[in-house]
Amino acid sequence: MTEVILHEPLDMHLHLRDGDMLRTVAPLSARSFSGALIMPNLVPPITDGEMLRAYRHRILEAAGENCFKPYMTLFFKPEYDFDFLAPLAEEITAIKLYPAGITTNSEGGVSGFDVETLRPALEAMSELGIPLCIHGETGGFVLDREREFVPIYEELAVAFPELSIVMEHITDAVSLEALERHPNLYATITLHHLLITLDDVVGGMLQPHLFCKPIAKRPEDRQALLHAALNAHPKVMFGSDSAPHPRHAKEAPGCAAGVFTAPVALPVLAELFARHGKLEKLQHFVSTNAREIYQIDPPVKKVRLVDTPMQVPEKYGEVVPLFAGREIGWSIADVEC
């Protein structure tokens, strides 16, 4: 039997939603991860300290007795300034910027990326050491949206050299290349973008549960992401972008964007890294790099994964997971806190 022990695994991009959905999905991440960076795009979005504290409380209640730390974020607003952010600096791990209307619940995001308009908020974040996470897509042709956004990442990286900028859920080899040009650029990579290309989504019958934003790209893009993850690129970390939607919202006209991977993320990653002979690199991808990039110290947790198959449930509540109803090759043997 092959096994790997992960210490303090982290998911640095997680959607937990709210209400009944939160209570369904939070325990699934809280069991296997030591902590996660929680996305703020609720309705309404998390934009102040009172909302943030209340949401963190609901997350901890939903997580139950699992040793799990939600790393909280605010939904970026250009009007944030030093006086507003300074009292919250110890309570937030990052601020998430969404281009307006580009993804789920992002209607209140940023329209246009004029550096001077964003300067007060981004200078305050730089001074306070608060990282900026960005969903980096333009409104252009869908296959080009991410690469078209790379010049914006680079403009911001140059204009605010003390600001740590995280390119979220990158899917394009061009984004990886930008990491090498700017010391303050970092990136998250999802599980599903290490596994699928656009062909898996629309190449035959439409697969709504694989539809996400940014959409999966070309085989050469997937290969570039795999190479970075498998070789523990120090500026790349795991962020699942696990995004639960009820089945009726996925299997419908106007299919909601998001892949629900939380229940299988660590076993499938272990299987993937083992298949490529890179199990020794998995700790860096799912913990070490994130701890260094974000300067965080998550709760102690040891997760032992083994190459024993497990059957993935057809659904959790009303949410269909990746590999629903199928057998995967690895499973979580035990968790210690």
Q: Whole-angstrom Cα distance, residue 289 to residue 48? A: 28
Which of 86, 102, 173 lies closest to 134, judged by CA? 102
The DSSP letter of residue 319 is B
Closest among 225, 235, 243, 215 to 189, alpha carbons compared: 225
Distance CA 25, CA 20 (A): 9
Q: Is 200 a catalytic residue?
A: no
**Is it true that the peptide bond before 299 is cis, omega within 30 degrees of 0?**
no
Distance CA 128, CA 88 (A): 10
According to the 3-state scheme, what is the secondary structure of 91-144? CCCEEEECECCCCCCCCCCECCCCHHHHHHHHHHHHHHCCCEEECCCCCCCCCC
Q: Which of 114, 144, 241, 307 is catalytic?
A: 241
- HSE-up of 101 (CA within 13 Å, CB side)? 4
For the four alpha carbons of 86, 238, 170 and 316, in that order, the dihedral sign comes to negative
Residue identified by tokens 């700017």 is 182
Closest CA to 189 of 11, 7, 6: 11
The two three-digit tokens of residue 290, written as one number: 């994130």
Rounded CA-CA distance 311/37 in Å is 28
Point out the residues that are catalytic.
241
